[in-house]
Amino acid sequence: MKRNYKLILVIIAVAVFIVAFRKHQMVDNKESAIITGINNIIEYAHYHPADVNNHFSERVFNQFIEDLDPSKRYFLQSDIDELSVYKDSIDNEIRKGRTDFYKKIYAIVKKRQAESIEYIDEILEKGFDFDKDEVLNIDYKKIKPAKTKAELKERWRKYLKFNTLSRLYDKIKDQETKQKKDSAFKPKSIKELKQEALKATKKSIKTYIDALKDMEDMDYFAIYMNAITMQNDPHTNYFSPQGKERFDMDMSGSFEGIGARLQKEGDYVKIVEVIAGGPAWKDGKLKVGDIIQKVGQGDDEPVDIMGMRLSKVVKLIKGAKGTVVKLIVKRVDGSIETIPITRDRVELEETFAKSLLIKDNNQTFGYIYLPKFYIDFKDKDHRSAASDIKKELEKLKAENVGGIVLDLRNNGGGSLSTVIDIAGYFIDKGPVVQVRDKNDKVELLKDEDKNTVYNGKVVVLINELSASASEILAAALQDYNRAIIIGGNSYGKGTVQNLIGLNRVMGDNFGDLGALKWTTKKFYRISGGSTQRKGVIPDIIIPDTYMYLEIREKDEKTALLWDQIDKARHKIYQIPYKSQIVASEQQRIDTTALFQHIKEKARWIADKKKDNVIYLKLDKYIADLKKNEVISKRYDSLTVFESHFKFYSLPVDLKDNVKAQDTVFKTRRKKWIDAVKKDPYISEAVKILEKEYKS
């Protein structure tokens, strides 16, 4: 894989440099370099590039307008009419590296945003009449652009009224609850509650406006580039320099900095979370609520960040491990303090694999939760999903568990190499996945290690948000008959992406150009079928609340099609009485009241999503919510489930001296165990293991 990847980079680099040289006169600015680089990479190296023609141009036109104004509260119909001259010429601009359409629409959207801020201030200053009988239609796909500024202003008024109305209802309901609990409680008047709700809306909208002002030209340009790239398929994406940094952090589950989450607060920046285990947390001086006023590097004079964009403040605070950043903060009590913090690697524990023991009478099982297939591309020796899963398996083996539940629900994928390694932990050796390139060449990716880390019973949990790498692992274990797969039909992402920095192919004349992630290949199961669109169908299907929503790959307009190739030779393991276990458990689940309720709720949620009218009159709004609450109460049994199984942290985890002293770890672990106890899907997985255990 590494050799092939390097070869692809060389081919792309040569091809793009040739084309870029021929078009040198057109590449005269950063945006032109980005659009030219992206277009040529996709043209030469995408698995199935879309035809860049007038139809493509129209799709980009419509997509970019929708991305900039999804709720139709900015653009006027006259703006769309003015822009429509570009509708069938964007394809020509892309080929020539021009950005005329982008520049024109950017100027219009900035103008409309500035006008909307004036609308917002004026509307909130007047307040709202909650006795007026009116509705808000949120079926934005069918709503046409406003014809006049007055119509735009009216849309903002209704939107802000709904925001305030929902806060007012929450306050009314909160008072009712307090009155039931305490007869001496003195409720506020409806007038006072309205004022509080309006104040909360003003604060929320100010945060929104600050975020809007914080967006730079490059942020909008990235949206435009993605309107172009995603016409090829949903997973071909452009990353701005900052977006690339976030992508790397997401893939590795770590970054170098101080370990704090920030939020814009007026002209300065507020600490909203201190990440457990990070440098700021270990230092203990930085507190949630502190306002950062200045940032200094080492012994340098601190820089005043008043009015500075949040992204720039974050860039000032982040830095290489071992370096010192100096924060001048204003405490909640008004005092000013200087806090020096030595930067270090910050690991986001919630992104990493973890395990528990499950006990029932004399039987013990293991549970492993894997939220993503993470890896640090810059430091391959650092922890990864593969190395962590191996450790968790070895710890569970040491406890002599009778089987393991591997939870891949909501796991959106990640590193392909970690999937191959993890699949190999459960099989002797052999193929894991087939990959086909644009020239129909098929490569068989194998586990070459004869050693098996865990050869016991396995149940894998998946759902509609288990995607890509999750599907490869689940499909491989299913095709080997190495595990019983349960849950919902997976997402259906069966494509491979590569990532390349645009500077590698366009040079360094225009600064950091960001990166392109583009689709280069398709995955195929070792049984031959693609996971694209179809996903992985579980051996035992368990209803869930999102099963009827259109949220899978097949619901994406530009998703590549399903197909199949020849199967790869592989071993078939034996699960004693599997067909009987699957049949009996499926029948039991299908007739279990809990899962029947879940299925009913799923249908209700799907139907409710089609209800696009919101009442803006207080009594009608409350009546509509109460009607839904009555329906929702039918499903109260779903929230009171608690497993009869006992869940424990592994002894080796509790012996860890750092964790043993870490109150944050203890609190988070307790919350996690409580959540696992209330998860019926995990209990079903254990029941299936018990059936296997007894077979």
What are the catalytic residues? 468, 479, 493
- The dihedral region occupied by 125, where left means phi > 0, alpha psi between -120 and 50, and beta the remainder, is alpha
Count of beta carbons in the 10 Å neighbourhood of residue 270: 17
Question: Cα separation of 695 and 684, whole Å?
Answer: 17
Question: Cα separation of 259 and 314, whole Å?
Answer: 11
Closest CA to 135 of 606, 607, 620: 620
Q: Distance of CA 651 to CAs 319, 397, 398, 400, 404, Å?
A: 36, 13, 11, 13, 17
Question: Cα separation of 35 and 95, whole Å?
Answer: 9
209: which 2 tokens? Answer: 């406006």
| Pairing relationship of beta strands 484-487 and 540-541 according to DSSP bridges | parallel
Question: Cα separation of 413 and 380, whole Å?
Answer: 18
Question: Cα separation of 483 and 476, whole Å?
Answer: 9
Q: 3-state secondary structure string, 151-192?
A: HHHHHHHHHHHHHHHHHHHHHHHHHHHHHHHCCCCCCCCHHH
Closest CA to 420 of 385, 396, 467: 385
| Pairing relationship of beta strands 354-360 and 268-274 according to DSSP bridges | unpaired
Instruction: Find out whether 109 and 75 touch, Cβ atoms under 8 Å.
Output: yes
Instruction: Find out whether 386 and 374 touch, Cβ atoms under 8 Å.
Output: no
Question: Cα separation of 483 and 458, whole Å?
Answer: 5
| Pairing relationship of beta strands 291-297 and 324-330 according to DSSP bridges | antiparallel
447: which 2 tokens? Answer: 């586990």
H or E stretch including 268? strand 268-274
Closest CA to 564 of 522, 598, 596, 600: 522
Closest CA to 233 of 22, 512, 440, 519: 519
Residue type, 351: T
Closest CA to 234 of 516, 564, 563, 560: 560
Count of beta carbons in the 10 Å neighbourhood of residue 250: 15
Phi and psi dihedrals of 341, rounded to 5?
Answer: -135, 130
- The dihedral region occupied by 565, where left means phi > 0, alpha psi between -120 and 50, and beta the remainder, is beta
Q: 3-state secondary structure string, 315-350?
A: HHHCCCCCCEEEEEEECCCCCEEEEEEECEEEECHH
Residues 6+ apart with CB under 8 A from 605: 545, 546, 548, 549
Q: Distance of CA 47 to CAs 267, 470, 612, 694, Å?
A: 46, 21, 38, 48
Segments of 53-146 assigned E as strands: 135-137
- The sign of the dihedral angle between the CA atoms of 454, 455, 456, 461 is positive
Question: Cα separation of 73 and 83, whole Å?
Answer: 17
